[in-house]
Homo-oligomer: A and B are copies of this chain.
Amino acid sequence: MAGFVMQSLGCEVAALNTVNFSNHLGYGQARGTKVAAAEINDLYEGLKESYLDDFNMMLSGYLPGAASVEAMGAIARDLKGKAATKPGSFFWILDPVMGDNGKLYVEEDVVPAYKNLIKDADLILPNQFEAETLSGVKIVDMDTLKQAVTTLHERYRIPHIVVTSVSFPASGAERRLSIVGSTCTSAATPRIFGVSVPAIDCFFSGTGDMFAALLLVRFREAVSETPGLMDKEAWVSGDEVEATELPLARATEKVLASMHEVLTRTKVQRDEEIARYHATIEGGKEKDEKRLHLLVSKASEVRLVRNVDCLKNPVVQFKAGRV
């Protein structure tokens, strides 16, 4: 997911696989193996030995255990160290993949491993559960969300934060998702903006990776539009820039425009595919629950390759507002 999104927007990508699975875990079953931490180290050594380690950005995602999180962290720190004399020349986006909806789906030792690492990241992308886990703040409304973001800036000195997919008890008829981001000021105070989008009533897999990959491209693009900002440490905008005018806010708007369009199209095709399937079987409804879950999972796969135009040409409908 992440590799193709970045490539289709023009990035040369070196993908370091951390698992080699037959399918994503949304199916509830998978075969294959995890890549050992020693092999992650070894692959990076291989890149270094052939002068293939001149990266501008790094995006880290799903890592199943603490040892592989630490191996990934060592790579990021090495790349950061090499770039130390040239501020802004290397940027690390860390997606602290740990769980969702109140449940951890990695080994427990992954949590302290991320807590040790994220102070070196430039941008983190926790979902609501991960933001709670890292900040220790239970998020139940906008106030506690702001408190969590403030805590993350303060405790870990992270310049940029985007909390993806926050969902509060619905007030109106239409269920919506909030995405809340912040770039800290020079005084380490948050500048918080939010974007609200209509929720699509369907479980998709890989949308976190899709968000991260799109944000990598769109954030770099937005930063490059402010003269001199790419040469500043961690691309932190000057204190005069308002929350809703941050490059991170501009980027988030474009990302959500692309995602909403791709997922809306996916939902239509998914529903058609499921209806077609039911029409072919006796009784019109699959009775085997496991089989139904697998077929629905497949039908819900994000329709990416034929919707690259949505990635390339986002039409912004949902604007960032103050929180």
Contact = CB atoms under 8 A, between A and B. Distances in A.
B20 A46 contact: no
A294 interface: yes
A51 B305 contact: no
A305 B12 contact: yes
A46 to B, nearest CB: 3
A39 interface: yes
Interface string A178-202: 0000000000000000000000000
Given A51-B295, A298-B52, A32 B12 contact: no
Given A4-B7, A17-B17, A50 B22 contact: yes
Interface centre among A10, A22, A35, A46 (most CB of B within 10 A): A22
Contacts of A27: 50
A50 B297 contact: yes
A17 B23 CA distance: 13
Contacts of A45: 22, 31
A46 B21 contact: yes
A287 interface: no
A84 to B, nearest CB: 20
A22 B43 contact: yes
Contacts of A52: 22-23, 298
A289 interface: no
Given A7-B4, A8-B8, A298-B50, A43 B20 contact: yes
Nearest to A48: B22
Contacts of A33: 39
A32 B36 CA distance: 11
A286 to B, nearest CB: 11
A294 B47 CA distance: 11
Contacts of A23: 46-47, 50, 52
A32 B46 contact: yes
A47 B35 contact: no
Contact of A17 (B4, B20, B51, B298): B20
A246 to B, nearest CB: 28
A95 to B, nearest CB: 21
A30 interface: yes
Interface of A: 4, 7-8, 10-13, 17, 20-23, 27, 29-33, 35, 39, 42-47, 49-52, 291, 294-295, 297-298, 301, 305-306, 308
